[in-house]
Amino acid sequence: MTLLRAKCVKHVEWEILNMLIGDDEDSHYTSTTEMALDGLVPRGDKVAVKRYNTALKNIRDILRGMREKRVKHLPKEHHAAGDE
């Protein structure tokens, strides 16, 4: 299945989240790079590249925030427990 060209940042965010969650039987991607190469970001399309990069940053920021909020629940012995 070839992906549609990135129509907006939210479209790319959805595709990234769908790939990460992996509960869609049509999703066969194992990386965001693989998704980009399969039509989401056509070669030479600067607008689609910008949308892709913005979406990746947005999702990364959301996931980092979720991770940071959970540090306080880690066992004391966990290697990341002191990162608060």
Please list the pLDDT of the chain residue by residue as tens digits (84 residues).
Answer: 567 788 888 888 888 888 887 766 666 677 778 877 778 888 899 999 999 999 999 999 999 999 889 888 888 888 888 765
C-beta of residue 80 within 8 angstroms of C-beta of residue 71: yes
Residues 6+ apart with CB under 8 A from 55: 6, 9, 10, 12, 13, 16
- Residue 51 identity: R
C-beta of residue 9 within 8 angstroms of C-beta of residue 51: yes
Measured between alpha carbons, how far is 83 from 33 in angstroms, rounded to an integer? 30
**pTM listed for this prediction:** 0.72
CA distances from 51 to 5, 40, 46, 56, 77 (A): 10, 10, 9, 9, 40
